[in-house]
Each structure stands twice: as C-alpha cells, then as structure tokens.
Amino acid sequence: MRTLSTLVVALLIVGFSSLAFGAQNEETAKSWQEQATGTRAQVMAVYGQLEEMGDKDNDVAKDLIADAVKQLGEGDKFMKKGDEAMEAKEWEKANYGYNMAWQYYVKAATAGLNAKSILAGQ
C-alpha cells in the first residue's frame, strides 16, 4: 500500500512539473493525451477485475468502487474538453484538459486498487 501511495505522489509531481514548465504546444498536448488515455485503460482493467471479484458486501470496498467510478466520470469530462481543445488547436486548454483527466484517472486507479486490495484480503 505504501509503494502505491509513493508511486501516485511521484506521478502527480511529474505531471504538475511537466505542465507548469513545459511548452504549451501540440506535442505536449499529444503527450498528455497519450498519458491520460493509457491511464484510463489501466483504470478500466482494474475495474474489470473488480467486477469479476464482486464487492463481497464490504462497505469500504463498495465506497471505494463508487469513488473510482465517480473519478472516472470526472476524468472523462476533462478528456472530452481536451479533445475539443485539441481540435481547435488550443494547446494550453488541451494540455489542461488532458492533465486534469489524467489526475482524475490516477484517483480512480488508486481507489480501485485499494478496493481490490481490501477484497483480496491484503
């Protein structure tokens, strides 16, 4: 659990520093788009595993799964905003949208992985 928390913090620091100090251009927007898309795919893989496991009537796991679903939905909203900005060639807005989507997907992954750990008895 501690390793997961450390990884999430490290990813957030890298993400924020890249956004704050990186150039706001098409290349960085595409990079954030790829990161957000890849992270979303990982969230969906964890969610698929949770569906197979079931919530086992564990209230904590249920709450974490509900939170993961909520965070996923928020991420999807920002992904859409990033896509719209990308189409309009508004790189700063695209970077922001994709970065925010990625952050919500990281939150969803964290909640999902914590639920999975609880359900697996770890």
Whole-structure pTM over 0.85, yes or no? no
**pLDDT for res 104:** 98
14, burial (CB in 10 Å: exposed 0-12, middle 13-18, buried 19+): exposed
| Number of domains forming the structure of the chain | 1
* Confidence category of residue 24, pLDDT binned at 50, 70, 90: confident
**pLDDT for res 110:** 96
pLDDT above 80 (res 1): no
Nearest CA to 119 out of 53, 69, 70 is that of 53
Q: How far apart are CA 46 and CA 79, in angstroms?
A: 19
Q: What is the pLDDT of residues 28-77, one digit of tens each?
A: 999 999 999 999 999 999 999 999 998 899 999 999 999 999 999 999 99
Q: 18: domain range?
A: 2-119
